[in-house]
A and B are shown apart, each in its own frame.
Chain A
């Protein structure tokens, strides 16, 4: 069964600290993996997208890694800010058909305290 599991479910850190969020998936055949940020009461916004051949991709203070062999990805946030408080969602795409399909994780709820 194709699944996307994220950990931790929730995380509280102090402003200025770094943190790492995890995503494990069983989706096969794999097409790409995205990290989205979803602020409370808003729609998700794409942060990064990585294909099979990419190991690392950065977007400002956000750095995503992908290990396609172990089917794991991480999102590292550097020097956290209050505005980083949000849910971070891992989304994996398959290429099992011409239409493709997206598999969503439940997200990690990050809270940054001053």
Chain B
């Protein structure tokens, strides 16, 4: 069982609200990721981090932002939520076993946050 946690698990909010999705891991992993997943569709990488003070945008354009002030914590923020942001957000972390990037790592996923914006 991976020690990676996400809160809240479910969130229903109105348009225009600012929200922060929390993600924390107790495995000491340097690398952390945020994915977006719609029902029946593949996961899309929206943000990743290789360590403290490191953040990069992923393959899928997202209006969200992330921060990495502590190794164990990787929160995602939406300044003004819209219905188009309705989705499942999955956080993951990994530890490099070999030299190189995320393709060599096994990623451990959190349980996800199901976000609904009305």
Q: How far is the CA of A84 from the CA of B111 in the complex (A)?
A: 18
A41 close to B (CB within 8 Å):
yes
Contacts A43-B90, A104-B42 hold; do A93 and B103 have CB atoms under 8 A apart? yes
Determine whether the beta carbon of B112 is less than 8 Å from that of A41. yes
B47 nearest CB across to chain A (Å): 14
Determine whether the beta carbon of A102 is less than 8 Å from that of B45. yes
What size tier do the contact residues of chain A reach?
Answer: 20 to 34
* Contact segment of A15-23, A44-52, A53-61, A67-75: A44-52
Instruction: Closest B residue to A44 by CB, please name it.
Output: B109
Contacting residues of chain A (1-23) with chain B, CB-CB under 8 angstroms: 4, 9
Q: In the complex, what residues of A have CB within 8 A of residue B112's CB?
A: 41-43
Determine whether the beta carbon of A100 is less than 8 Å from that of B42. no
Determine whether the beta carbon of A100 is less than 8 Å from that of B102. yes
Determine whether the beta carbon of A99 is less than 8 Å from that of B102. yes
Contacting residues of chain B (97-118) with chain A, CB-CB under 8 angstroms: 100-104, 106-112, 114
Q: How far is the CA of A100 from the CA of B109 in the complex (A)?
A: 18
Determine whether the beta carbon of A106 is less than 8 Å from that of B41. yes
A32 close to B (CB within 8 Å):
yes
Determine whether the beta carbon of B111 is less than 8 Å from that of A101. no
Determine whether the beta carbon of B43 is less than 8 Å from that of A101. no
Instruction: Closest A residue to B48 by CB, please name it.
Output: A99
Interface residues of B (CB under 8 A from A): 2, 4, 40-45, 59, 90-92, 100-104, 106-112, 114
